Amino acid sequence: MIIDLVNIPKDGLKLDESINFEGYDLKSVGIEELKDVKLNGSVKINIADEVILKANLSGTMILLDAIDSSEIEYPFNIEIEENLTDNDEYNLEKTQNTLDIMNILWQNIVLEVPMRVVKKENENVSLQGEGWELISDDTKKVDPRLSPLMDLLNRKE
Question: Mean pLDDT of all residues in the chain?
Answer: 83
pLDDT value of position 94: 53
* pLDDT-derived band at 92, boundaries 50, 70, 90: low
* pLDDT band, residue 139 (cuts 50/70/90): low
Determine the pLDDT at residue 144. 78
CA 96 vs CA 2, 20, 42, 64: distances in Å = 11, 24, 20, 41
The torsion angles phi and psi of 19, rounded to 5 degrees, stand at: -110, 140
Average pLDDT over residues 110-126: 83
Select from 16, 31, 13, 24 the least CA-distant residue to 103: 24
Q: Rounded mean pLDDT of 62-77?
A: 91
Q: What is the pTM of this model?
A: 0.71
Query: What is the pLDDT at residue 89?
Result: 56
